A and B are shown apart, each in its own frame.
Chain A
Amino acid sequence: MVTVTSSRSFSPGRFVLYALLALFCIYYLLPLYVMLVNSLKPLSEITAGGMMALPKDWTLAPWLSAWSSAQVGVEATGLKPYFLNSIIMVVPAVALSTLVGALNGYVLTKWTFRGATIVFGLLLFGCFIPFQMVLIPMARMLGLMGLAGSVTGLIFVHFVYGIGFSTLYFRNYYAAFPTELVRAAQIDGAGFFRIFWRILLPSSGPIAVVCIIWQFTNIWNDFLFGASFSDFSSQPMTVALNNLVQSSTGVKEYNVHFAGAIMAALPTLLVYIVAGRYFVRGLMAGSVKG
């Protein structure tokens, strides 16, 4: 670690440093501030102007409404029922893509074969495919597989387009893992899965955190797939939030919108706050190394 200023005491240099850091904190927090303040105001205060101001009349009503009584469809259910839909979809999709990514990374680094690099390159390039493009052919495939409009179908889609990045993370991580250990285990008679299970997986904690954070965020926040491949019973949170926030010819309750928006973001925020400590450690442990 290198310190710009040699002195540890509170010097002008440190002051500038902290001031800079604080300034950036403001930049990153501002949109959240706008959302938070306006979610605690009555609507009249918002439409009257002063959207940056603190509420004069604090209220929790928008939050309650967004959670359980706002209109997101014909029934005034709030966002509550959609939370579960999202969780049912996100958890298996994240678990599956992470596990398969780990296995792929393991094969691509410890059991390489001719053309492994090309396979990895093709996988990686697949990350760049625009999702708008795959919508129609994907719908057809899901129909053929009998998965149209089902949670399983949604999980499958997210899994398919999550593999690229999870393989990338694990491959780079396992590349730095000492191959000697794997070879020693092999001489001891351990097989392919045993080595993975006993030797690589136990030390994969940090990169798994990175991968899970990444996948969780992407899948939880996805709207396009969630809207297109779900049916009435499996619409995820983002679709409900979109229904709450977007309406072309209806009255807009901005305070409820903001409350709902923060609410929909809470799980991902929570993941970042709880797992954030391990995040840099995980990145450090592998994904940014060669």
Chain B
Amino acid sequence: MRKFTTMMTAAAALLAAGTATKAADVEVLHWWTSGGEAAALNVLKEDLESQGIGWQDMPVAGGGGTQAMTVLRARVTSGNPPTAVQMLGFDITDWAQEGALADLNILAGMEGWDDVVPEALQKFSKYDGKWVAAPVNVHSTNWVWANKAVLDELGIAPPQTWDEFVAALEKVKASGKTAIAHGGQAWQEATVFDAVVLSTGGPEFYNKVFVDLDEEALGSDTMKQAFDRMAVIRSYVDDNFSGRDWNLSSAMVINGDAAFQMMGDWAKGEFLNAGKQPDTDFLCFRFPGTEGKVTFLSDQFALFAQGPEVGKEQAALAAAIMSPNFQSAFNVVKGSVPARTDVSDEAFDACGKKGIADLKAAAASGNLVGSMAHGHANPAAIKNAMYDVITAHFNGEYDSETAVEELVNAVQINK
């Protein structure tokens, strides 16, 4: 009964949104603070302001959102949660479990979100059948970025298979250049690992190990092979990789000091910012062996319950996030792909168009898997435990066999 009244008031509030005289403000906690991202978010702010809703900006950058998550915890504990919080994957589920998120089902029903958001994303945007978050974009992480001039000079075509990739790497190494520009931070290594596992074992295996945490699969020979491939990749990385920011790795590719970088689609921003053009100066292609398959992560705005009902500002914010115009405008700048599948790809460049097409195809064929490295395959505790093993192996602390054992251990301890 209470639920019903909540829904009714929310609907009433929503309908009233357009006619409101002076609405309250929304406070948004996010970590998009660099030039392009923040500017893109400003589109959303202006949209809301045109509806008479003020935007209270609460940016907290650092550690890929971990800093913001800490702040969020303090805010929720003190009884003062923000209206909406940028969030990734399982964090949304965790907060929904705490009962901290608002129920957006009425709005979602009116706007038909169920039909336009891919099911793989809904898994995170919905909890217990209720919409609790509004997805903004889909990033995909199994991309390889390459310097076209370097490849042309050495006569390398974009490799399609693992063996071709290794041959290409060998050629680059022989020429004296760095084959792979890599930044030695745990999340970057895990990002590469995502792609390697997907390529080695296929989507089914990927889901088995990362989502189902199947111990047999985790301890399997396929997993060992994946670690072996990580070791191969390590051997084509320069000696100074440890701790390097991914931006500096991109700079190595941009400057022609290195041939390849494996990084999510946000790397494109670095290339564009350096005045490089896709297909003429740099190439983007899927990690060898993962063509047609996509490891994704989706930035979403989780909406925190501000009271028993969804306020009209909150509803307006969620609706604005999901509007096709914003999704297009934002993602063109951000390098990602809209979370809605019905947004036109007109405004996007070559890499962006490919991203949209890939996403659509992968979602249809079951080849869309959540990125483990970015919290879309398992909860934070497991994810970080996996980071530990992957990064220890990449840094030569474990051989592949030990790494497999440790991975099984890590999952057991943290489950």
Contacts and interface: CB of A to CB of B under 8 A. Distances in A.
A40 to B, nearest CB: 19
Interface in B270-291: 270, 273-274
B273 A233 contact: no
A198 interface: no
B270 A73 contact: no
Contacts of A70: 35
Contacts of A52: none
B78 interface: yes
A126 interface: no
B45 interface: yes
Interface in A209-253: 227-229, 231-233, 235, 239, 242-253
Interface string B44-82: 110000000001111111111101001101110111100
B33 A135 contact: no
A245 B245 CA distance: 12
Interface residues of B, number: 49
A184 to B, nearest CB: 50
Given A232-B56, A239-B60, A242-B61, A251 B74 contact: no
A253 B269 CA distance: 12
B59 A252 contact: no
A242 B80 contact: no
Given A143-B78, A148-B80, A242-B61, A251 B273 contact: yes
Contacts, number: 141
B38 A74 contact: yes
A73 B56 contact: no
Given A248-B31, A252-B34, A243 B75 contact: no
A135 to B, nearest CB: 6
A247 B63 CA distance: 8
A47 interface: yes
* A contacts with B: majority SS: loop
A57 interface: no
Contact of A139 (B56, B67, B74): B74
Nearest to B79: A143
Given A228-B71, A228-B74, A232-B58, A76 B38 contact: yes
B97 interface: no
Nearest to A47: B251
A253 B266 CA distance: 15
B41 A148 contact: no
B27 interface: yes
A94 interface: no
A48 interface: yes
Interface in B219-238: none
Contact of B33 (A71, A136, A228): A71
Contact of B62 (A49, A72, A246): A246
Given A232-B57, A239-B60, 10 more contacts: A47-B254, A72-B33, A73-B58, A76-B38, A140-B78, A149-B78, A149-B80, A227-B70, A229-B78, A248-B61
